[in-house]
Amino acid sequence: MNNVNRKSKAIIYTLLTIMACGLMIPLSKACDICGCGVGSYYIGILPDFNKRFIGLRYQHKSLLSHLGPTGNRTPITADETYQSMEMWGAWNIGQRWRVMAIMPYNFNTRNIKGSGEQGKKNGMGDVVAMGYYKIFEEAKGTASNKMLVHSLWIGAGVKAPTGRYDASERSNAAQDSPNNFQLGTASTDFMFNLAYDVRLMDLGLNVNTTYKLNTENKYDYRYANKFTANALAYYKFNVKNKVRIAPNAGITYETQPQDVVFGKYDVAQSGGNSTTGIVGVEVNMGKISFGGNYQSPLNQNLAGGRVEAGNRFLTHLSFSF
């Protein structure tokens, strides 16, 4: 076995080990974890591009909060909807470097049917900038004369506190309500990512793991650190060498402990874990790419059952140049 193959296998083994360690994090309890509200940046399968791309993404997410002790609706149960329109893009620099940015504009709504109370927040969210380094990319033939291509990227980035944070949503440490209904976190946070893609001819698997390290904001609130892992299987259909269609399906797992206020008090209605199924499709027509996916919870334990995540939907349109 040559040195490249040994190196590739060692790196893949390291990636799988990191994923396994992340999945063994003790089952804690969440709110931000459900993919709603602040701090959720889903990447998924990137559009096809060689040099750079820019595009728009739309995300729609729903959430039930303030459920009763047994997960039932109460007079203070809130129906919350989180929508975001994001400008995003990436630029490959040379053969091994990539930079990426996401700039969201959020539309949050909340409806408490028991009291008729309604809330709405629209505005800029927290901007994210990421840098990636390609550890390896390899293409080789198999014993059955099929082409196997795989690559591994490692990345790190920062989330800036550009979104508005309303401190009145949490007036004291005794409040147990989830602090999810925000446009931003008011904190500078850090993200670390591993992305592995392997494809045998037209059948592929894309695996992403992300660890988000959150800091305390100036209002003495710290959203908990968050681990996310997702795997998407896809198949590429080539239509007359002009259009590539890639249906995909997979799963996402998220886990995070409870948020903390004043450096020592856990927020009861926060933390947790969830597993979400994903089905979608990606289409490439030369320089134009578009696609979307539907995400539905398969299993969840959020805030001890006091929070319930609903289905999510994402769609995008991108242009490479």
> Is the pTM above the cut of 0.95?
no
* Chain Cα centroid distance, residue 274: 13
d(CA 315, CA 227): 23
Sheet with 221-222, strands from edge to edge, namely 221-222, 260-261, 265-266
Q: Which of 194, 265, 182, 285 is nearest to 231 (CA)?
A: 194
**Residue 90: which domain range?**
3-320
In total, how many domains does the chain have? 1
Is the four-CA dihedral 169, 174, 175, 178 of positive or negative sign?
A: positive
Q: Are 123 and 162 in contact (CB under 8 A)?
A: no
Sequential pLDDT tens for the chain (321 residues) = 454 455 545 544 544 444 444 434 333 333 455 555 555 667 878 888 889 999 999 999 999 888 888 788 888 888 999 999 999 999 999 999 999 999 999 999 999 988 888 899 999 999 999 999 999 999 998 888 899 999 999 999 999 999 999 988 765 434 566 788 899 999 999 999 999 999 999 999 999 999 999 999 999 999 999 999 999 999 999 998 899 999 999 999 999 999 998 888 888 888 899 999 999 999 999 999 999 999 999 999 988 888 899 999 999 999 999
Query: Could you tell me the CATH number of the domain that includes residue 130?
Result: 2.40.128.130
Other residues' Cβ atoms within 10 Å of the Cβ of residue 118: 12
